[in-house]
Amino acid sequence: MKKIAVFMLTIFLLFGCAKKEEKKAGQYLAKINNTIITKEDLNKEIEALPAFAQKMFEGEEGTTRLINELIKKELLYQEAKKKGLDKDPSYVKKVEDSRKLILISALLEKEIEEKAKVSDKEVKDFYEKNKADFTVQGKPVEFEKIKDMLAQRLTAQKQKEVFDSYVENLKKSYTIDINKEAIAGMSKKEETKKEEPKGPAKEAPKK
């Protein structure tokens, strides 16, 4: 089980955020060609890990293990660049898609999550109004036992409402042109493919 956890963590580190090749000030912990790994880099990697994983890299032995993982990641990164894989069209497309998703996530965090927070009072009021829906053997479940669950439900509901409203407002600010003819043409092509008769099955050669 421990070996699997270490392996998964290694994958996590290998496919983490790409590191810029640049010289950094301060005492370095490791150097791979012109790329330097500093104490600050190490601390950032540790902080990015979940709590249970951080314990795996405690002490001198753990620190050495993590530095070795960072070296592996940098070696693979530099080798990939050396082979020109960063110029590969499929890679460039994936990077662009990732940038879009990260940017969208930042927008949603700012415009949706902040505005869709639910207060303790809202959760309590919802519980009181719908207490009859939360019963076990005819008795209402205590508020404290389902408070977190209700908060998650109300937050998700509010996020959807805020999101839908936000998108509708965006539609008013942008020009959107949906080519219905092209879409209909695609559907017809798909239907034609399905209706095309299949040729007679070829008989197996007689021995």
Using one digit for the tens of pLDDT, what is the confidence trace for 72-119?
999 999 999 999 999 999 999 999 999 999 999 999 999 998 889 999
Instruction: Output the pTM of the full model.
Output: 0.56
Q: Dihedral of the CA atoms 8, 12, 15, 16 (nearest 10)? A: -170
Closest-CA residue to 32 (of 65, 72, 85, 3):
72
Domain ranges of the chain: 2-87, 90-173
For 171, other C-beta atoms within 10 Å of its C-beta total 9
Structure tokens at 170: 């965006």
List pLDDT tens digits, range 115-166.
Answer: 899 999 999 999 999 988 898 888 889 999 999 999 999 999 999 999 999 9
For 70, other C-beta atoms within 10 Å of its C-beta total 20
CA gap 22, 35 in Å, rounded: 6
Question: How many residues are given for the chain?
Answer: 207
Structure tokens at 12: 């996590």
DSSP state of 21: -
Confidence of residue 199 (pLDDT cuts 50, 70, 90): low
**So what's the pLDDT on residue 140?**
87
Q: Tokens 């110029």 map to which residue? A: 87
